A and B are shown apart, each in its own frame.
Chain A
Amino acid sequence: MSVSTKTETIPELSAEAAPEVETTLRRFLSDFTENKVAVAAFVVFIGIVFIAIFAPLISPQNPFDLAEIDILEGRLPPKSESISGTTFWLGTDDQGRDMLSAIFYGLRTSLGVGAMSGFIALCLGTCIGLTAAYFGGRIDSIVMRLVDLQLSFPAILIALVLLAILGKGVDKIIVALIAVQWAYYARTVRASALVERRKDYIEAAQCLAFSNRRILFRHLMPNVLPPLIVVGTVQVAHAILLESTLSFLGIGLPVTEPSLGLLIANGFEYMLSGKYWISFFPGVALLITVVSINLVGDQLRDVLNPRLRR
């Protein structure tokens, strides 16, 4: 008897639960797509990610394979023809590398580094923030002091110091970028978590004697996600910019893993002689990437912010 009633009630519950999730997601999507610009930006961003992932497949030339480049073809303006018959749509740099391909590969590096450091920083910051908010007391004050200390310094300074100590290398850059970003995530997560912590469902979970870890990750975290997503998008954009700035200054990624910043740096010396394309196009690529991320992030923030709900 009891078995049959159980199976009768469960489908009811799930039938009620399913439409709920759908409408929240649907509402989010409809709110988000209200802003056409943001949608366009999102599409552009997806395109860029696509390029980054498939760079080796779609580039006309592998600019870092020494066999494929010829220094005699260096510094050619856009739309020049190469000996092998392919067109250098965006010109070549001083080593004879096709700018278009270099940009594709550069995007890959820049996005890769930015995304990876952002993701790790997010995980790290979230854990720290959640822990601080949940346990409160001394842990909380120590953590927050640390966060405040770090946030009162500009990112570029912290990165400079770290890189001065650590030296060059892809892993060192990522470490520096993570070190710069985790504090933002930690602070955002902690703020939301503090608000959520006081809410009843957390108390209920505690009454049910769930383990702390379970409460943290399965109950608290999902509700802390929205502001986190917003901060995340902006932070990734910042990380990408920061990395390219550092690379430009010569203390970022090494020459073997060129990012857009390095490409721009390469072209710097040719600016005054009018060969603008070596710096110009990578910069444009960087710009488009960052702007699209920011636009999407802006719209996300407007949509996910309960206070701006009309």
Chain B
Amino acid sequence: MVIVAMSVIVFFGVMVIGNPVDILINPEFDQEEMERAIKALGLDLPMWQQYLLFVKNAFQGDFGKSFVFGEPALKLIIQRVPATLELAFTALILSILIGIPLGLFAGLKPDAPVSKTIMGGSILGFSLPTFWVGIMMMMIFAVMLGVLPATGRGQTVTIMGLKISFLTWDGLKHLLMPAINLALLKISLVIRLTRAGTREVVLQDYVKFARAKGLSNRRVILVHVLKNILIPVVTVIGLELGNLIAFSVVTETVFAWPGMGKLIIDSIQLLDRPIIVAYLIIIVFMFVTINLVVDILYSVLDPRVRLQDVKS
């Protein structure tokens, strides 16, 4: 339903605004070629017919050919999806691994100076312009220190037809900066979320009861507290994955990472419409999938939701 809505919006948006003839057809064609192209693309048909044509093609995976590359738009995008996903997932994992422990600590000991630093740092985290930080990181680590490579993706290993780069050392080196850069924003979010959750959970009776049972502090925190915090945190993080994929546009541009994001930016500037359309449809599709997965995950983690129907 969402996908349909999106497709309608995008299609009409692109078609109606801006002269489709100019957009779709290479302006360097002469008159005759133009007319042929118009016929071939069906631009002389009434609008609703064009839309149906579009949908029919879309279902077959045909979004038209990119002007710039001359190849089917869908294929171009799909080729670059693994790179983006790799970046996004790494950033996600980083933000979880760093964010949750820090947030937990800040929540348990809110008055410790370390906690205050963490919280202050988190404000910095989501105030930072990602692209600028990326540039700075590049400058410090690549130019001044020469430790990490500045741009591009490293060596890849092909598994199941997908090119994966984090399995090689070189690949990792290339992955590190962009992933951290992308993760920065999310780390702050995770920290704040975890901290808020911790502060709330720690006040609950069942935590006190757990202590009254004589459980060690470690167990109380790691089992009782953490599991309760994870529920809201995980749902948010899951949704953030979509955000990460979208935001990779910036990081990919800065670090010249060959993912979907860079492609779309270039395409927008070059007015490569088929790619724009295809990208949007795919993104929407991804989002819907992610939402679904998060819903499932939520019910797995929270027994109260899961067993609603089972209870007599």
Contact = CB atoms under 8 A, between A and B. Distances in A.
A205 interface: no
Interface of A: 149, 152-154, 156-157, 160-161, 163-167, 237, 241, 244-245, 248-251, 261, 264, 267-268, 271-272, 274, 276, 279-280, 283, 286-287, 290-291, 293-295, 298
9 contacts: A152-B239, A152-B287, A157-B246, A165-B13, A267-B135, A286-B132, A287-B132, A290-B127, A290-B128
Nearest to B116: A37
B contact patch SS: helix
Interface string B234-270: 0000010011001101100110000000001100110
B269 A291 contact: no
Contact of A248 (B128, B242, B250, B283): B250
B265 A249 contact: yes
Given A165-B13, A283-B136, A248 B131 contact: yes
Given A271-B135, A290-B127, A165 B17 contact: yes
B276 A287 contact: no
A149 B2 contact: yes
B140 to A, nearest CB: 9
A264 B265 contact: no
A153 B139 CA distance: 32
Nearest to B248: A156
Contacts of A154: 242-243, 246-247
Contacts of A167: 18
Interface of B: 2, 5, 10, 13-14, 17-18, 123-124, 126-132, 135-136, 138-139, 142-143, 150, 239, 242-243, 246-247, 249-250, 253-254, 264-265, 268-269, 276, 280, 283, 287, 291
A51 B184 CA distance: 29
Contacts of A250: 265, 269
A93 to B, nearest CB: 14
A156 B138 contact: no
B123 A286 contact: no
Contacts of B10: 161
A272 B13 CA distance: 39
A269 to B, nearest CB: 11
B136 A280 contact: yes
A165 B18 contact: yes
Most chain B C-beta atoms within 10 Å of own C-beta, residue among A154, A250, A251: A154
A283 B135 contact: yes
A271 B129 contact: no
B265 A244 contact: no
Contacts of B268: 160, 163-164, 251
A287 B125 CA distance: 10
Contacts of A157: 246, 283
A286 B124 CA distance: 12
Contacts of A287: 127-129, 132
Contacts of A244: 129, 131
Given A161-B10, A165-B13, A272 B130 contact: no
Contacts of B138: 271-272
B135 A294 contact: no
A241 B129 contact: yes
The winner among A164, A249, A280, A290 for most chain B CB atoms within 10 A is: A164
Given A165-B18, A274-B143, 5 more contacts: A152-B287, A157-B246, A160-B246, A160-B268, A271-B139
Contacts of A268: 135, 254
B127 A156 contact: no
A163 B136 CA distance: 27
Find the residue from A149, A156, A157, A237 having the highest chain B CB count within 10 A: A157
Given A152-B287, A271-B138, A166 B17 contact: yes
A152 B291 contact: yes
B123 A298 contact: yes
Nearest to B2: A149
Contacts of B123: 291, 294-295, 298
A264 B243 CA distance: 23
Contacts of B124: 291
B130 A245 contact: yes
A279 B287 contact: no
